[in-house]
Structure 1
Amino acid sequence: MKIEYDAGTALSIMRGNPVRGWTSGKAERMAKSRLTTGDFVQIEHKPKFQIDPSWPIFTMGSCFAREVENVLMMRGLSLVTRGHGVPAEHFETWDATTGRGGGAAGGELSRGALNKYSVRSMTHELKRVLLDESYPHDGLIELAPDQWFDPHASGLRLLDRETAFANRQRLSAATATIKQARICFFTLGLTETWLDAETGLAMNAHPGPAWLARMPERFRFIDYGYEATLADMLQIISMIREHCHPEMRFVVTVSPVPLGATFKDADVIVANSGSKSVLRAVAEELFRRFDFVDYFPSYEIVLNSPRALAFQEDQLHVARDMVSCVMSHFERSYLSGEAARSEAA
């Protein structure tokens, strides 16, 4: 959807925008100045709407979405997936010696399994709970005798049938909490996706290189482009507004967490840029089309902040202080106006 103004309107908008210039305008508002402070970058964001602090929030997306959830809960906001998850000892990262893994201690439920990396896998998960779509074996794959893999989860190890299917029910129940929400926060992660050729379902994660090599005909790689990704997001938004709150509002962002590795014949840095560019373009189109969809620039805030501050040592995961900075910006954008009105009342 294009944006078009006559010359007079365009000039008026430009002159009224204090952060319009890269090297022009007030010194402290120029992009050049804001990008060279050595601190977290400050980006001006004008939200389309305010969020009532009492609104239940549903989040979906990559591991960055889990970091967002943690901050939302710390701020006392209503997160509908709170208390949902999978036992920590069922994760690949579980360490029996320390009793920790999956982002939680033994006996605790971790939301890490809820990570959704591709838009197509998000679509399948939502169809499961909103359209009652059913899949063979609930979508799980038996890779070895009584060793089940959930391709729609994240980070879980192979488990026996009873345990794997119980976890699948836990995860579906977590996704179903979207029916209680008033606002959805979607973090778009990547475009590179793996398909289960036997079921035709997009997997959230593949079972690992060894299993891919053993079952080359079952698993297929696909890198979704702009048209397919936009179509998926349009379907998601329509489905949610039809089967959940009819006036659901959406905040969409792009995860700053890069590809861990690419399956394309390209430098991972270049492949990551291409993937994020597609997702950013989709988010922009949704922002332009709907007054109930806003784009929040967490991607730009992180990527334009000094890398030493923005990322952990692995240069993959976003640093906690950076997440806190992003969410403070989110609060100022979407919650401060509502809070001010409440105080005035």
Structure 2
Amino acid sequence: MNFRTVIDPPRHLGYLDHRQHLLLLGSCFVENMGAWLQQRKFDVDINPFGTLYNPESIVRNWERMVSGAPFTADDLFLSGGLWHSYDHHSRFSSPDRDSALAHINRRLAAAHDRLPATDRIVVTWGSAYVYRLNATGQVVANCHKQPASTFTRELLAVDDIVARWLPIVRYIESSLPQCRLLFTVSPIRHLSDGAHGNQLSKATLLLAIDRLQRESRICDYFPSYEILMDDLRDYRFYDTDMTHPSASAIAYISEVLTESYLTPESREIATQWYKIYTALAHRPLTGDTEGYRTFLQKTLDRVIRFHQAYPYIDVSHEIEELKTRIKQI
């Protein structure tokens, strides 16, 4: 007997490829997937505004990314000795307002400049619950530990999500004809919403994605949520907080994604580069030695051979880093 519900997504080999420019937006789960892709040398831009959980905040930041209009000092507020933006994750916060603003706008400009060449946009929605700033009605991407009385919490409706996302889909169809949009729902459980509330939230997101898929052929869906909920379906696949997927669960979901979307060449590239990635991360336990110099030189030779085999992949940063580390010994 088979005691598992195996989730087998439709295969579309070549959907993700090392020749593509990828943009990943959304929850911390998309950052897990983005890190996995980066470690295998995919060209990935991950969350230019930091982690975003709800569909409305992603729309707001998408609109800003398309326009390229910089943020101003009026978009920041001071709390707890730090300057924050309600459109950004706390990683952009800083005790110096000018530094925070410069960081925010540098990241925005880089994302805006890269957008026209984007081939795939991967979006992970985490929750359909939003927090609206009472003073302005703005849906915030992050509450930055402000008092609960500052916000009104609400559950987005499917129709409202679809109405906000359809213009994005139409923009991609007309202005980025090479691009497709891959949706996922984060398998991370938001138990602060309550067990039932979490299910209502996830169901809302799934229904909205289904509607968008019916509206446009460029919208696709990868079942990361179903893989964890129905295939793995065991607390040993959760981290110690019992809400986030464990490293083994993320690895398994990544394997399913690989089998579904990567060509044999891309799989080979990913395998080769991950070995180089782990070598680049290695540091000696006993200081800089001649043995370590030899190790670095062999790693540099591997990177050069990799580039000769796959000249369309940029490895200039790794080559310069290795040369610098060799010279420092």
Q: Same fold (TM over 0.5)?
A: yes
Distance 1:138 1:324 in 2: 42
Aligned ranges for residues 226-265 of structure 1 at < 5 Å? 226-243=158-175, 245-259=176-190, 261-262=192-193
Distance 1:220 1:158 in 2: 26
2:26 paired with 1:61: yes
Residue 191 (structure 1) shift:
1.2
SS in 1 for 2:7: coil
Residue 153 (structure 1) shift:
1.5
Residue 228 of structure 1 aligns with an amino acid whose one-letter code is: D
Aligned ranges for residues 50-199 of structure 1 at < 5 Å? 50-51=14-15, 52-81=17-46, 114-132=50-68, 137=73, 139-143=75-79, 147-156=82-91, 157=93, 159-173=95-109, 175-176=111-112, 177-199=114-136
Unaligned runs of 5+ in 1: 1-26, 36-41, 86-112, 263-267, 341-345
Distance 2:219 2:264 in 1: 18
Q: What is the number of residues matched between the two proteins?
A: 264
**Is the 2:57–2:87 Cα contact (8 Å) retained in structure 1?**
yes
2:7 paired with 1:43: yes
**Is the 2:27–2:53 Cα contact (8 Å) retained in structure 1?**
yes
2:255 paired with 1:315: no
Residue 154 of structure 1 aligns with an amino acid whose one-letter code is: H
In structure 2, the CA distance between the partners of 1:134 and 1:73, relative to structure 1 (3 Å rule), is: closer
Richer in helix (by share): 2
SS in 2 for 1:44: coil
Overall identity of the aligned pairs, in %: 22
In structure 2, the CA distance between the partners of 1:54 and 1:197, relative to structure 1 (3 Å rule), is: same
Distance 1:164 1:75 in 2: 31
Residue 138 (structure 1) shift:
5.7
In structure 2, the CA distance between the partners of 1:155 and 1:259, relative to structure 1 (3 Å rule), is: farther
In structure 2, the CA distance between the partners of 1:290 and 1:55, relative to structure 1 (3 Å rule), is: same
Distance 2:264 2:10 in 1: 11
Distance 1:338 1:200 in 2: 49
Residue 337 (structure 1) shift:
6.7
Distance 2:221 2:160 in 1: 19
Deviations 1:115-174 (A, max 9, x none): 111111001101112134566646323347x74221112234563311221232144235
Unaligned runs of 5+ in 2: 268-329
**Is the 1:253–1:297 Cα contact (8 Å) retained in structure 2?**
yes
Residue 258 of structure 1 aligns with an amino acid whose one-letter code is: R
Distance 1:339 1:149 in 2: 40
Distance 1:150 1:230 in 2: 26
Q: CA RMSD in A?
A: 2.7
Distance 1:231 1:200 in 2: 18
Distance 2:123 2:159 in 1: 18
Distance 1:235 1:337 in 2: 35
**Is the 2:185–2:205 Cα contact (8 Å) retained in structure 1?**
yes
Deviations 1:14-41 (A, max 9, x none): xxxxxxxxxxxxx55xxxx324xxxxxx
The match for 2:318 is: none
Distance 1:140 1:241 in 2: 34
The match for 1:208 is: 145
Distance 1:208 1:241 in 2: 38
Residue 185 (structure 1) shift:
0.7
Return the TM-score normalized by structure 1: 0.68
In structure 2, the CA distance between the partners of 1:134 and 1:162, relative to structure 1 (3 Å rule), is: closer
In structure 2, the CA distance between the partners of 1:174 and 1:302, relative to structure 1 (3 Å rule), is: farther
Distance 1:143 1:339 in 2: 46
SS in 1 for 2:144: coil
